[in-house]
A and B are shown apart, each in its own frame.
Chain A
Amino acid sequence: MPVPEVHDWAHCTQNLKALSYRFAVCCDDARLGTHISALLSSLRDADHPDEDAVAEPARHRYTLTASPERPGAVDVGRDGELVEPGLAPGVAVGWLVWDVNRLAAELSGEHLLFHSGGLEASGVGILVPAASGSGKSTLTAGLVRAGLGYLSDELVAVELDVAGTGTDRLLPYPKPITVKPGSFGVLADMAPEVLEGEGDGEWQVPVGEGTGRLVGGPCEPGFVIVPRYDPSAETALVRLSETEAFFTLALHAVNLLPHGPAGSEALGRLAARCACYALAFSDLDAACELVLGLVGTRV
């Protein structure tokens, strides 16, 4: 169903970019629009910051408009089509972050993508690959809180063979950090401003300018940390062999098959060049201390 055209937006974000997915968000409610702008400001498209989001046809556009059916709720549209009707504003924000992440993964296939957190420590990249529920976002958030540069909590893009140099680099995709309720306690000081319906499920924690949480830049990978939260575990790092690292990375690669042999060769380079560790943890602060010690950074 088409979204009714609204030309008099109360607020539109700047142009935004999630890896290769370019988009903008327009709202008919200024407070909600301002909230989304602040939340997604770390995704500002530095190459095209000031174009008119509404007029630019190549850029995808989300719209959040007051629901005519449900007072207080919003209808979410994408590129003129109603995709999620009647959501509480906070739920709509969570859906928006999820959908941007989904499309970033779908439209950034030129890079080798990993289901992984990503960080930068003094110019060195850290991959944090793990399945959902392993504590990947929590560990990433803890390390960002400790001062490391944030690349992503969910999807890390590796640019392969940069300019034919044989080196690879991690690219920043600084989406808001999504924190699940089980980690609210250990990350309480990162609690964001929440809207109606938001916070019951997940927090969307803003990063970048004005938040005290740094965003990292493109960097060569130097470490792979594979986290596993286990409340009964003693928090410890265990070195992985090259073979173990290779298959762990393969397991968490999102788009290995389309890259063919180049993808497996890239996995081999990552496994050979990075120091790779498994991290079992029951204590977030202790886990962060171990990682910070490993990467030689004390903030």
Chain B
Amino acid sequence: MEASWPEADSVPLRREGASAVELDDNLAVYDDVGQLMILLNSSAGEVWNLCDGSTTVAAMIRELAEKYPDQASVIGDDVRETLRKLAELGLVDQGPEAL
């Protein structure tokens, strides 16, 4: 993983074979390839759900900042940190750069 990732125009993609189950306010993600099951809290789950391979990181941050305006100042850092952790776990690919 590149040290600067994710950039604003990165388009993270959920790993093929990973599936998610909604539980209470959480999301259990099961990775069939890595044989890993992990519980994401609601914030991380929202980021996960936006990793569709077409939404840029900038768009993710914008969407979540609109949804949670009182946390807008920290959402950028939170989204990037969450994406880095998901990538470390192999649950998202960095995806192609946005065109």
Q: When chains A and B are docked, how far (Å) is the Cα of A113 from the Cα of B32?
A: 18
Q: A216-265: which residues lie under 8 A (CB-CB) from chain B? A: 241-243, 246-247, 250, 257, 260-261, 263-265
Listed in ascending order, the chain B residues whose CB lies under 8 Å from chain A are: 17, 19, 21-24, 26, 28, 30, 32, 35, 37, 39
Which of B19, B22, B23 neighbours the largest number of chain A CB atoms within 10 Å of its CB? B23
Min distance, Cβ A244 to any Cβ of chain B, angstroms: 9
Query: Binary interface profile of A, 252-286, with partner B (CB < 8 Å = 1, else 0)?
Result: 00000100110111011001100000000000000
Whether the Cβ atoms of B22 and A268 lie closer than 8 Å is yes
Report whether A250 and B37 are in contact in the complex, using a CB–CB cutoff of 8 Å: yes
Q: Is the CB of B24 within 8 A of A261?
A: no
Q: Of the candidates B24, B26, B37, which one forms a contact with A264 in the assembled complex, judged by CB atoms under 8 Å apart?
A: B37
Q: How far is the CA of A261 from the CA of B18 in the complex (A)?
A: 7
Chain B residue nearest in CB terms to A267: B21
For the complex with contacts A241-B23, A261-B17, A272-B23, 6 further pairs of A-B residues with Cβ separation under 8 Å are A243-B23, A250-B37, A264-B21, A264-B37, A267-B21, A268-B21
Residue pairs across A and B with Cβ atoms less than 8 A apart, 11 shown, are: A241-B23, A243-B23, A243-B24, A243-B26, A246-B28, A250-B37, A264-B19, A264-B37, A267-B28, A268-B28, A271-B23
Main secondary structure of the interface of A (DSSP, over half): helix
**7 tightest Cβ-Cβ pairs between the two chains A and B:** A268-B21, A261-B19, A264-B30, A243-B23, A242-B23, A260-B32, A242-B24
Binding site for B on A (CB under 8 A): 241-243, 246-247, 250, 257, 260-261, 263-265, 267-268, 271-272
Question: In the bound complex, what is the Cα–Cα distance between A114 and B21 (angstroms)?
Answer: 19
- Smallest beta-carbon distance B28→chain A, Å: 6
B contact face: mostly helix, strand, loop, or mixed: strand
Give the Cβ gap from A267 to chain B, nearest Cβ, in Å: 7
Are B23 and A261 in contact, with the CB atoms below 8 A?
no
B40 to chain A, nearest CB (A): 11
With A260-B32, A261-B32, A264-B30 already in contact, the answer to whether A247 and B21 are too (CB < 8 A) is no
Name the B residues within 8 Å of A250 (CB-CB). 37
B30 touches A246 (CB 8 A): no
A243 to B39, CA, bound (A): 9
Nearest-neighbor residue (CB-CB) of B35 within chain A? A257
Q: Which of A241, A243, A260 contacts B28 (CB 8 A)?
A: A243
Chain A residues with CB below 8 A from B17, complex form = 260-261
**A261 and B30: CB pair below 8 A?**
yes
Q: How many angstroms between the C-alpha atoms of A264 and B20 in the bound complex?
A: 8
With a cutoff of 8 Å between Cβ atoms, the chain B residues found around residue A272 in the complex are 23
A183 to B63, CA, bound (A): 58
Min CB distance, A104 to chain B, in Å? 24
* Docked complex Cα distance between A243 and B28 (Å): 8
Task: Tell me the bound Cα distance from A268 to B39 in angstroms.
Answer: 12
